[in-house]
Amino acid sequence: MMNKDLRSIAIENSDEITQEWLKEINQLKSVNYTEEISAELYDNNNQEFLNVIFHSIRGNGSTKVIKDFSDRIIQLGWPLSYITDGLLVFRKVTVNTILTKLEQSDGGFVSEIISSVDSWVEPIIRQLVNEYSVSWEQVVSLQRIALQELSAPLIPVMDNITIMPLIGTIDTERAKFIMENLLEGVMRHNAEVVLIDITGVPVVDTMVAHHLFQATEAVRLLGASCILVGIRPEIAQTIVNLGINFSNLPTKSTLKKGFMLALEITNKSIIEMDNKSQNMDDLLGFGKGSEITNENSNLKTT
Amino acid sequence: MSSQSCVTIHKEWDIVAARQMGREIAKQLGFGTVDQARITTAISELARNIYLYAGEGKVYFEVIESLDKKGITIVATDTGPGIKDLSLVMEDGYTTSGGLGAGLPGVRRLMDEFDIESETGKGTKIVTTKWVR
């Protein structure tokens, strides 16, 4: 019943606790939180945070209000330290206030006050920290899925010619993906030539080179061939310094040059057409309507 | 004048963190894009060696700025199993992991100065420097 008593002291003196708390928390603002939070927003949020704390103390730890509050501040991107600092300050201020109200300094009693104030504050800290970390974990796992989706796309551009553009860092897991997608794609699209574009790969070290060699060797075993394209000059120099031998893998500086080589290998060529009379809309299929509209558009362009 | 920063290598993605930090420092020091790529690749090799063979270790970056020259020193340390035969790992094509075996000799060629110390059972320390030209 002691606890109940202390609780009512805290609630009765909530105005005083609020004043002290705001004073301390405003001092922390300049140290902890970024300038981009306006003073007004900061004050509003502080008031709301206090309401949540007192609501929780009155309601013996109701979690609904805390959940709503945390959802909102996570959305707004408030730092987790705001929560932990706020509650630590609240604990200190409340213990001090109760002590001065009771004008008692018996050691056992003080520790009882501290432990009962702790028991009000701790569930709030726990829940808020949990809400934060769950939200982070969700973001991380969603991003992991998004990255996987981006990791190794295979684009069939023509019969027998397929392109795999690689963008970003290649780690062991992604290297496996690349290999699987590459081989599966070669079979599915019946590819004769695969162009692997590494323009977007920031670092080509021995491990990346090793994985590229393995992938191209596997493609070769399926009867297709690989051309490595998009090798930037600095990457070329680094590869030479590292002493990696790329001589058994055909390479080209750009995707365009690689594509020309791929056309040659598959006995194809690009022929420029003569008749320039056909206008763009016709080719793109927009001019399917009546002939009059076609003539009209011709008039406009000439 | 010198300043130091450090990345702990524990997971595979720490390798990326290490080389991003290294690239940033190299860029600020005024290295060209080719040297930036060399330094980044060297960091990648060193950090990957820690991750593959020692499991855990640290990569330090030191900025050296004296009157006549500027440069970056990369220190890779671990307390892993160490390397038995140093001359063997500095040979091209020697590998224990099925890789290309170009890592350490490659780093020596990518950088200007290279020093390796290792004791079996105690760990390995590699100190390597690149000067701004």
Amino acid A278: pLDDT: 65
Q: What confidence category does residue A292 fall into, taking pLDDT thresholds of 50, 70 and 90? A: very low
Judged against a pLDDT cut of 50, whether residue A297 lies above it is answered with no
CA A223 to centroid of chain Cα atoms: 39
What's the average model confidence in pLDDT over A31-37? 60
Amino acid A281: pLDDT: 72
- Whether residue B34 and residue A233 make contact (CB cut-off 8 A), yes or no, is yes
State which H helix or E strand residue A295 sits in. helix A291-301
Count how many residues are written for chain B. 133
Q: Which of A92-106, B43-57, B77-91, B106-120 has the lowest mean pLDDT?
A: A92-106
How does pLDDT run across B102-116, given as a tens digit for each residue?
Answer: 788 999 999 999 999
Amino acid B2: pLDDT: 57
- Please tell me whether residue B3 adopts helix, strand or coil conformation: strand
The b/e string for A223-254 (b: 16+ C-beta within 10 A; e otherwise) is: ebbbbbbbbbebbbbbbebbbbebeebbbbee
What's the average model confidence in pLDDT over A264-270? 89
- Please tell me whether residue A128 adopts helix, strand or coil conformation: helix
- Whether residue B100 and residue A210 make contact (CB cut-off 8 A), yes or no, is yes
Dihedrals phi, psi of A70, to nearest 5 degrees: -65, -40
Ranges of each domain in chain A? 2-148, 155-265
Site of tokens 């309507």: A289
Q: What confidence category does residue A133 fall into, taking pLDDT thresholds of 50, 70 and 90? A: confident
What's the average model confidence in pLDDT over A222-249? 91
Q: Around A192, how many Cα atoms within 13 Å sit in the side-chain half-sphere?
A: 12
- Measured in angstroms, the CA of B5 and the nearest CA of chain A are apart by 21
Judged against a pLDDT cut of 80, whether residue A88 lies above it is answered with yes
* Closest among B8, B112, B9 to B64, alpha carbons compared: B112
Indicate the average pLDDT of chain B. Answer: 90
Judged against a pLDDT cut of 50, whether residue A296 lies above it is answered with no
Q: What confidence category does residue A183 fall into, taking pLDDT thresholds of 50, 70 and 90? A: very high
What is the assigned CATH class of domain B2-131?
A: alpha beta
Residue A173 makes CB contacts below 8 A (sequence gap 6+) with: B12
Amino acid A236: pLDDT: 92
* Closest among B34, B110, B25, B114 to B70, alpha carbons compared: B25
How does pLDDT run across A43-57, given as a tens digit for each residue?
Answer: 888 888 888 888 888
- β-strand partners of B65: B70
Contacts of B106 in chain A (CB under 8 A): 206, 241-244
Contacts of A209 in chain B (CB under 8 A): 100
pLDDT: which is higher, A71 or A302: A71
Judged against a pLDDT cut of 50, whether residue A293 lies above it is answered with no
CA distance B67 to A118: 58
Q: Which of A102-106, A135-139, B42-46, B51-55 has the lowest mean pLDDT?
A: A102-106
- Measured in angstroms, the CA of B120 and the nearest CA of chain A are apart by 25
Mutate to test the interface with A, among B46, B94, B100, B133 (most CBs of A within 10 A): B100
- Beta strand A161-167 with A193-200 is parallel
B99 touches chain A (CB under 8 A): yes
Amino acid A105: pLDDT: 60
Residue A179 tokens read as 């290999």
Amino acid A295: pLDDT: 45
Q: What confidence category does residue B36 fall into, taking pLDDT thresholds of 50, 70 and 90? A: very high
What's the average model confidence in pLDDT over A179-190? 91
CA distance A7 to A63: 18
CA distances from B82 to A21, A172, A227, B7, B107 (A): 55, 24, 39, 20, 18
Interface residues on A facing B, Cβ-Cβ cutoff 8 A:
169, 171-173, 202-207, 209-210, 213, 233-235, 237-238, 241-244
Amino acid A299: pLDDT: 44
**What's the longest Cα–Cα distance across chain B?**
45
Q: Which of A75-89, B45-59, B78-92 has the lowest mean pLDDT?
A: A75-89
Amino acid A99: pLDDT: 81
CA distance B35 to A87: 50
Amino acid A35: pLDDT: 57
CA distance B118 to B82: 5
- Whether residue B99 and residue A244 make contact (CB cut-off 8 A), yes or no, is no
Dihedrals phi, psi of A164, to nearest 5 degrees: -120, 100
CA distance A177 to A208: 13
Could you confirm whether domain A155-265 is CATH 3.30.750.24? yes
Judged against a pLDDT cut of 50, whether residue A298 lies above it is answered with no
Ranges of each domain in chain B? 2-131
Amino acid A31: pLDDT: 60
- Whether residue A207 and residue B92 make contact (CB cut-off 8 A), yes or no, is no
CA nearest B42 in A: which residue? A205
Q: Give the number of other CB atoms < 10 A from CB of residue A119.
A: 12
Q: How much of chain A, in percent, has pLDDT values that exceed 90?
A: 25
Judged against a pLDDT cut of 70, whether residue A1 lies above it is answered with no
Residue B57 tokens read as 């270790």
Mutate to test the interface with A, among B12, B14, B34, B74 (most CBs of A within 10 A): B34
Residue A85 tokens read as 């600092």
Q: What confidence category does residue B50 fall into, taking pLDDT thresholds of 50, 70 and 90? A: very high
How does pLDDT run across A168-177, given as a tens digit for each residue?
Answer: 888 888 888 8
Judged against a pLDDT cut of 70, whether residue A287 lies above it is answered with no
Phi-psi label, residue B123: left if phi above 0, alpha if psi -120 to 50, beta otherwise:
left
Amino acid A107: pLDDT: 66
What is the assigned CATH class of domain A2-148?
A: mainly alpha
CA distance B32 to A256: 27
Judged against a pLDDT cut of 70, whether residue A42 lies above it is answered with yes
Indicate the average pLDDT of chain A. Answer: 82
Describe the crossing of helices A14-32 and A80-102 by its angle, rounded to 10 degrees. Answer: 140
- β-strand partners of B118: B124
Amino acid A3: pLDDT: 66
